[in-house]
Amino acid sequence: MSIVTSSFIPPQRTLMGPGPSDVDPRILTALAQPTIGHLDPLFVDLMDNTKKLLQFAFQTNNALTMPVSAPGSAGMEAVFVNLVEPGDKVIVCQNGVFGGRMQQNVERCGGQAIMVQDDWGCATDIHKLEETLKKHPDAKAVAFVHAETSTGVRNDAKALCALAKKYGCLTIVDAVTSLGGIELAVDEWQIDAIYSGTQKCLSCVPGLSPVSFSQTAIEVIKKRQSAVQSWFLDMDLVMGYWGQGTKRAYHHTAPVNSIYALHEALLILHAEGLQAAWQRHADKHQLLKVGLENLGLEFVVKQQDRLPQLNMVRIPDGVDDALVRQRLLNEFNLEIGAGLGVLAGKVWRIGLMGYGANTKNVDYCINALSQVLVKS
């Protein structure tokens, strides 16, 4: 196959899958501003303001709060490679795809992952976690996913962290799909290390991973016996670049334009306010729920454990999963998500994230689904 030599002009999709979500046009405009140097004093100021806005979004005073220059999976890896040393025991709660990825990370750091398993679509059982904590008093950390993108389940981050702390463990939280969409309070909940993504409820383009580390986590990093196995993600080095003051040590070239976009996304969240953003996600979820149920579609996750921003419904018997998604994409320019892992072919995942959590998207999705389901 030969090279296509024409520019790529994408269609205007409505993105209601598990992410990326619809990007606010303001953010695309910010993204396309002229590139400046990554050591330009104006860029250094922008980095500082981005850090402050991330502290606001995470609800933390952690000094070590910044975007990793790579997607959420690299943010996850940044947390694990800095905190886990060979031989460390980490309790990982899994009830979907991303808990499994945490296990991979622990093991690739030479650590031992003690798994707390719950069914996909159910919340992590806090009693199981407590039993595991009792059995492994030498565990260094407890890790779990706040908003499981693969199932639409909300794990009770506040309660899980409180329990982990009671047993003297570090707390590691995946907030890729939760940040900006549901309540999250890093300092109040005693989260020691957290990572997120830009392409979910921040409605920014994909490619960066905001992270934050508590003072406790920093002390653990400082006392490491072994070097961090990743040079790119070594927080000691990264902080020389993202640290305080005007003197920055060159580490890598920051993705300048992506930072413009993240900054703009965080300004939008700041202007709306966290409470208002969380409420909007809850409200639009209610609207979508009514619409989906009117179409006869059933939610998989129990009501109290559902994420407003990721709605997982069972595919009705006799309906062709791939055909429906293909028709939505081709006839309506509408993307919804397929099932992942054990849920592939059994569910759809409908996202209501950030800018995309609005009445117009809800109505459009319900309308499109009603037409495609009748005819498919």
Length of the chain: 376
Shortest CB 164 distance to its own copies, Å? 23
Q: Check binding of 10 to its own copies (CB under 8 A).
A: yes
Task: In whole angstroms, give the CA distance from residue 266 to residue 348.
Answer: 29
Residue of the chain from 44, 63, 104, 299 that contacts its own copies (CB under 8 A): 104
Segment 247-276, which members bind its own copies (CB under 8 A)? 250-258, 260, 263-264, 267, 270-271
Segment 296-335, which members bind its own copies (CB under 8 A)? 329, 335
Q: Check binding of 346 to its own copies (CB under 8 A).
A: no
Strands 334-338 and 347-351: antiparallel
Written as one letter, the residue type at 27 is I
Interface characters, 107-136, with its own copies (x: CB under 8 A) = xxx---------------------------
Shortest CB 329 distance to its own copies, Å? 7
| Tally of CB atoms within 10 A around 225 | 7
Distance of CA 15 to the CA centre of its chain: 16
Nearer to its own copies, 46 or 220 (CB): 46
Strands 141-145 and 347-351: unpaired
Scan for tokens 């640290």, then name that residue: 243
Shortest CB 170 distance to its own copies, Å? 20
Q: Check binding of 56 to its own copies (CB under 8 A).
A: yes
Nearer to its own copies, 227 or 290 (CB): 227
Task: In whole angstroms, give the CA distance from residue 254 to residue 47.
Answer: 10
Shortest CB 292 distance to its own copies, Å? 20
Nearer to its own copies, 182 or 336 (CB): 336
Interface characters, 202-241, with its own copies (x: CB under 8 A) = ---xxx-------------------xxxxxx---------
Q: Check binding of 287 to its own copies (CB under 8 A).
A: no
Task: In whole angstroms, give the CA distance from residue 313 to residue 292.
Answer: 8
Shortest CB 3 distance to its own copies, Å? 5
| Tally of CB atoms within 10 A around 252 | 13
Structure tokens at 118: 């719950």
Task: In whole angstroms, give the CA distance from residue 205 to residue 86.
Answer: 35
Nearer to its own copies, 244 or 294 (CB): 244
Residue 250 buriedness (CB in 10 A; 0-12 / 13-18 / 19+): exposed
